Amino acid sequence: MADDTIEITSPYRADFPALSKTMNGKPLAFLDSAASAQKPQAVIESMDTVLTGGYSNIHRGLYEISQNLTQEFENTRKKIANFIGASSEKNIVFTRNATEGINLVAQSWGRANLTAGDEIIITHMEHHANIVPWQILAEQIGFIIKVVPVLSDGTLDLGAFKNLLSDNTKFVGVVEISNALGTINPIDKIIKMVRGYNSDIKILIDGSQGIVHRSVNVTAMDADFYLFTGHKLYAPTGIGVLYGKYDLLQFMPPYQGGGDMIERVSLSSGTTYREAPYKFEAGTPAIVEVIGLGAAVDYLVDISMDKIMEHERKLLEYATQAISDIDGLTLYGTKDLTQKAGILSFTMDCAHSSDIGMILDQCGVAVRSGHHCAMPLMEAMGIDSTARASLALYSDKSDIDALISGLKKVQELFR
């Protein structure tokens, strides 16, 4: 039984204006951060400052505000590189989101390097964003997609993973933390296993949840590509990051054409392109959103990811115990909380996940209901959907207590 005397408060909650609001007349318990996180005041103010105090386009203007904003934009690239342990800002490509980053890798690296009969490996845990782009390309080229199964405890079957590797394997794509289960995959072990089999196999890590819940060092990780989206990392929508090893980025052809990614355009002699990462950033970028992402990174660095991880660990322990005490509730994912991030995915025998979500809404509790863009995983687990409560640095015990109270209300109404 959960200990009601436990006090787990977040000292960062007041930094997020939206959390002072109510929902259906109840204090807001926002437990849908895995879908998109709330924004701290520091991020909001950074974007407001650009829009009201010195907005212009960048990389082209010779006037002061354009030069200043260009410098701030490129300084954010350096911030991101430092934040994820990249060796240079030239490893950092700005995208709209993680989905665009995967599509970029598929349509640029994949189209240039994969041929009929080649094999790539993904897992049953992948978000649709790391499945569909490869299916589209496979239909066009004819390579084979192999899938690593998930064990009943919500972890990857590493033995099966190893057996899928072959002389035809050219690429591996793995999610760092499952957005549907919270399982933290052993990325270091997976990369070592793949490199040990064939060092030429390229490896992509989807870090959309990973970078939110723990420290990341891409150089130590040794992935060829690592990507994430800003809106889950307390930054605005419309901005994401693709990290790539520089020799790979330089070799890859442009993904989109247009302004700012060119050196010279000629109708008679063709077009030449800028070096990486700029050749992948066609057109006017998400200037304000990049500045917002930089502010989010500054905010997280000031707090420290270690403190965030410790806060979320304590809250996950409390939440797991509390939710496990509810009769007829099934919690999905590993029971080893050292291998799990702040995501609780569950079903109840008395109500469908959509009914759970609607009742919780009336209680002021925001959770996600559905397949979480992980239909193959749901199918593998023999269910069509779950309700999902996800934690963030601003979550605290009051959110979990409101969730538990709401779930008891579901029991009262549907039993």
Cα angle value 85/89/94 (rounded, 5°): 100
Q: What are the phi and psi torsion angles at 129 (to 5°)?
A: -65, -20
Other beta carbons less than 10 A from residue 275's beta carbon: 11
Encode pLDDT of 20-68 as tens digits.
999 999 999 999 999 999 999 999 999 999 999 889 999 988 999 999 9
pLDDT (0 to 100) of residue 3: 60
**Coil/strand/helix, residue 395:** coil
Q: How confident is the model at residue 401 (pLDDT cuts 50, 70, 90)?
A: very high
pLDDT (0 to 100) of residue 6: 63
Range of the domain at 123: 45-302
Same domain, 229 and 377: no
Query: What is the CATH number for 371?
Result: 3.90.1150.10
Catalytic residue among 6, 65, 337, 373: 373
Is the confidence at residue 319, as pLDDT, over 90? yes
**Chain centroid to CA 8: how far?**
25
Contact criterion met (CB below 8 Å) for 239 and 46: no
Same domain, 313 and 387: yes
Encode pLDDT of 164-185 as tens digits.
999 999 999 999 999 999 999 9
> What's the CA gap between 68 and 100, in Å, rounded?
28
Is the confidence at residue 5, as pLDDT, over 70? no
- Judge whether 319 lies within some domain: yes
Q: How confident is the model at residue 2 (pLDDT cuts 50, 70, 90)?
A: low
Q: How confident is the model at residue 275 (pLDDT cuts 50, 70, 90)?
A: very high
> What's the CA gap between 355 and 254, in Å, rounded?
46
Same domain, 280 and 363: no
pLDDT (0 to 100) of residue 8: 84
Encode pLDDT of 358-371 as tens digits.
999 999 999 999 99
| DSSP calls for 127-159 | -GGGTHHHHHHHHHH--EEEEE-B-TTSSB-HH
Encode pLDDT of 190-241 as tens digits.
999 999 999 999 999 999 999 999 999 999 999 999 999 999 999 999 999 9
What is the average per-residue pLDDT within 316-336? 95
pLDDT (0 to 100) of residue 61: 86
Same domain, 351 and 252: no
pLDDT (0 to 100) of residue 233: 98
Q: How far apart are the first and last CA of the chain?
A: 22
Cα angle value 95/97/103 (rounded, 5°): 75
Q: How confident is the model at residue 4 (pLDDT cuts 50, 70, 90)?
A: low
Is the confidence at residue 12, as pLDDT, over 70? yes
What is the average per-residue pLDDT within 93-122? 98
- The secondary structure of residue 363, as a DSSP letter, is T
Q: What is Dmax (Cα atoms) for the chain?
A: 76
Sheet containing strand 225-229, strands side by side: 92-95, 240-244, 225-229, 202-206, 169-175, 119-123, 144-148
- Judge whether 392 lies within some domain: yes
Amino acid letter, residue 39: K
Is the confidence at residue 91, as pLDDT, over 90? yes
Same domain, 52 and 173: yes
Amino acid letter, residue 12: Y
Same domain, 131 and 206: yes
The domain total for the chain is 2
Q: State the burial class of residue 163 (Cβ atoms within 10 Å of its Cβ: 0-12, 13-18, 19+).
A: exposed
Active site residue 363: no
> What's the CA gap between 260 and 116, in Å, rounded?
34
Same domain, 105 and 184: yes
Query: What is the CATH number for 192?
Result: 3.40.640.10
pLDDT (0 to 100) of residue 60: 83
pLDDT (0 to 100) of residue 79: 98
Same domain, 184 and 308: no
Residue with tokens 């403190």: 307
Encode pLDDT of 136-165 as tens digits.
999 999 999 999 999 999 999 999 999 999
- Judge whether 233 lies within some domain: yes
